[in-house]
Amino acid sequence: MTDGSGGLLVVDKPAGWTSHDVVARARRLCGTRRVGHAGTLDPMATGVLVLGVDRGTKLLTFLVGCDKSYAATIRLGISTLTDDAEGEATLAPGVDDVRAVEAALPAAVAALTGDIEQIPSAVSAIKVKGVRSYTRVRQGDTVELPARPVTVSRFDVLSVRPGTATVEVGPSIDVVDVDVEVDVSSGTYVRALARDLGAALGVGGHLTALRRTRVGRFGLDQAVSLDELAATAETDGPSGIRLLPIAEAARAQLPVHEVSAADAVRLSHGQRIPSGPGGAAAVAAIDPEGRLVAVLDETRATARAKVVFVSSGAAV
């Protein structure tokens, strides 16, 4: 912390906090302004939020596009403006025939698994003519976002729980809560999966709970709560907060090119070196002392440094 080398900090984000709130809190606890995150979580969501601290912020670019895993609860029978529990209900037909919905569920889930075209939730951070989509929706505009390719590599149904829900007007209605786990590519909206599942079943649907369990190779088993971080900072100061070192984090997420001391110096001066055999677009260059020198683009015969973590030949 104090030497400015930094690293990654995996936080278990609490419900009700924005990702920016968590970053602001981490800046105070870690005693540095150089904190960023590797992918936004909605305020209602909890779970893995990967933060970069000091030089660890340079690694975040290579985490934003990682696959992610979620545990979620989808409520069938009600659609909302935001496709989650934060928005007002736009349609609430309920579920009149629970058995029929349960019988149709496997096929509907299968249709949303694999490589699909997904229309993002209208209330999202995607920009439409320079303005965030959620801003346009809140201004009363009708937003129609184009579909884009995403991959849902796993969509497992864990349980199906019939129940009832209150609505703003009228008596309670029958609903079905579906607990699921999904593995998805970057850019996939789990809220949109809930919306589309409900639409496919003809009853509407929205997300009532969302917990991110993994970002790339970083999971809940590595995450700490903000309360734990605050307690550590109060007892031991910012230097007591344990970060995942940059080299260790890079090894966990990226293919590795073990470089010689001479090549490490070349990379530190912006020179190219021969690429390794993998041909990957992001490769961690690790020197003989186990330190991260750079992240390389090895898609060509000679490797180009995309980000350098050294200065005048001294690796961090």
Q: What is the pLDDT of residues 229-271, one digit of tens each?
A: 999 999 999 999 999 999 999 999 999 999 999 999 999 999 9
In the chain, residues under CATH classification 3.30.2350.10 are 7-65+217-245, 68-214
Q: Is 42 a catalytic residue?
A: yes
Q: What is the pLDDT of residue 312?
A: 54
Model pTM score = 0.91
Query: CATH 2.30.130.10 region(s) of the chain?
Result: 254-315
Which of 3, 12, 42, 287 does the annotation list as catalytic? Answer: 42
pLDDT, tens digit (0-9, with 9 covering 90-100), for 123-155: 666 666 666 666 666 666 666 778 999 999 999
Give the type of residue at 149: P
pLDDT of res. 313: 44
Average pLDDT per 10 consecutive residues for the chain, totaling 316 residues: 74 96 96 93 94 95 93 97 90 96 98 96 68 64 82 98 90 96 96 97 98 96 96 94 95 95 94 93 95 96 94 52
Reduce the secondary structure of the chain to three states and give it as a string. CCCCCCEEEEEEECCCCCHHHHHHHHHHHHCCCCEEECCCCCCCCEEEEEEEEHHHHHHHHHCCCCCEEEEEEEEECCEECCCECCCCEEECCCCCCHHHHHHHHHHHHHHCCEEEEECCCCCCCCEECCEEHHHHHHCCCCCCCCCEEEEEEEEEEEEEEEEEECCCCCCCEEEEEEEEEEEECCCCCHHHHHHHHHHHCCCCEEEEEEEEEEECCEEHHHCECHHHHHHHHHHHCHHHCCCEEHHHHHHHHCCEEECCHHHHHHHHCCCCEECCCCCCCCEEEECCCCCEEEEEECCCCEEEEEEECEECCEEC
Q: Decide which of 2.40.50.140, 3.40.50.2300, 3.40.50.11540, 2.30.130.10 is the CATH code for 254-315.
A: 2.30.130.10
pLDDT at residue 109, rounded to an integer: 98
Q: Report whether CATH 3.30.2350.10 matches the domain 7-65+217-245.
A: yes
CATH of region 68-214: 3.30.2350.10
Per-residue pLDDT at 39: 85
